[in-house]
Amino acid sequence: MTSQSSFSPELVRLDASLCRLSGRRGLQVSGFTLRQGEHWCLFGGNGAGKTVLAQLLCGRLHSGSAALHFAPDFDPQRDVLFVSFEEQQRLAALDVRHDISEYDPSAHDQGTTVHALVSAGLPLTDADEARLQDLLAALDLQEMQARGIRYLSSGQMRKALLARALFRRPRLLVLDEPLESIDRTTRETLQRVLTQHLGPDTTTLLLCRRAHDILPGITHLALLDSLTLVSSGALASVRASAEFMQLAQRRLPAPAQLPVNPLRRPFSPLPPDQPLLALHKVDAGYPGKPVLRALDWTFRRGQHALISGPNGCGKSTLLSLLCGDNHMAYGQDVVLFGRRRGSGESVWEVKARFGVVSNDLQLRYCKGWRVLDVGVSGFFDSVGLYDDSGASEQQAARDWLAALNLLPLAGELYHELSFGEQRVVLLARAMVKQPAILILDEPCVGLDDAWRQLVLDVVDHIAATTPTQILFVSHDPADAPRCINQWLDFCATGVSIRE
């Protein structure tokens, strides 16, 4: 039986193709056709090839493009918009490059505002402005439309990118895990708004690694595994296939033993009753936007804390106060490892005690670094490897990559890995020096179910068998590891602390 979509105009056709990614890796596709009104989910685990296939279909890759055919009236430069962490990284880097705060008398540059991002900075008619405001209201962005995007949380930036895409009404919208890094309430809002977009006059490519993130309204499903298009067709039939069940239920082996680090730097011991971290009546925020107010918190030996709350509540701000990235810690009662911030310590002395996995750190890694280099850079707390490293540092990095099932990627370029693979590399980078405190800011963002479970198992293993203590940030407490014994819950009335 011929499906109704087969009568719709063909936008993109990809004949049998091999898209070469490096000398050893390439995406194999037997053929793929995308028609107007179809809403496809490209489903697969981390590194399966979803992003590569989407970029190929949208004319963004040279390799394999000879097999690509566009409809005569379809221009990928004009008719395609991406919502992805890579696009988020590109826009953030562009905004930072245009920062003029050091030349401004107020030493403050708001940068690109949410309104300017969504509207592309173009003059709007009254009707356009009304539609833009309706969209901002639907995504709960109206009150922050004059705020610079550099002051948004990762989840808020995600919503702004979705607003930008929906406002411009592209013929083809590519959504790379649009519900990632989003709190539960916002997730329901985004799901509703996106489902309304999936109609007969639009076309969508949804990149998805977890079965429960497939949006209502998706009509077709394509399965990818190990850089190969395994199966494609109508949603119901492919979702019922053995191939889909195998991909959705795959698991990875957890390491039986974690690497022992002979290079661990000894830290000055603290008295047993002295907390590792202590904050008293601490305030923090941005111009016109208070974030933390009179926060009291103590983190003691043996504790592993979950920090949860909605997008923009102050979770990442708190972490930046601790690990030396936020100047607002100075002049306040912030005591780290028995020493008050601003009492003569260098920022590198602070960073030496922390290992970090975060969106901000991941987005700061530029092109050109090998995966092994990224791992070794954890010894120097640098973004990239600029210091001389010896065989011992490299072996420690290899050991952690092996523990996380990443050793075969040690020689690959970091920026060519999938977002989720990059995330797990950062965990290896954080642990090579066996820090006193491991800060995990949404560590499961970008991970499929198999990698997610592996990371949580490894975190529990770290807590149980090493001196490292855990600060784990998550929008969803269900994603937290079992080792958690303290909970900081950011809510409308402040911060609730339970032990």
What would the pLDDT profile of 360-390 be if each residue is shown by its tens digit?
888 777 677 899 999 999 988 887 776 667 8
- Write down the pLDDT at residue 272: 78
Average pLDDT over residues 241-266: 84
The answer as to CATH 3.40.50.300 being correct for domain 277-498 is yes
CA torsion 384→387→388→393, rounded to 10°?
Answer: -60
Q: Is residue 266 scored above 90 in pLDDT?
A: no
Domain 4-248, CATH: 3.40.50.300
Say which amino acid occupies 154: S
Q: Hey, which of 291-300, 340-349, 396-405 has the most confident mean pLDDT?
A: 396-405
- Write down the pLDDT at residue 103: 43
Give the Cα separation of 302 and 82 in Å (integer).
44
Asked whether this chain's domains 4-248 and 277-498 adopt the same fold, the reply is yes
Q: What are phi and psi of 258, to 5 degrees?
A: -85, 155
Q: Residue ranges of the domains in the chain? A: 4-248, 277-498
Q: Is residue 276 scored above 80 in pLDDT?
A: yes
Give the Cα separation of 460 and 481 in Å (integer).
6
Q: How confident is the model at residue 6 (pLDDT cuts 50, 70, 90)?
A: low
Ramachandran assignment for 337, one of left (phi > 0), alpha (psi -120 to 50 degrees), beta (any other): left
* Residue pair 162/83 in contact by the 8 Å Cβ criterion: yes
pLDDT digits (tens, 9 = 90+) for 101-133: 544 444 445 778 999 999 987 889 999 999 999
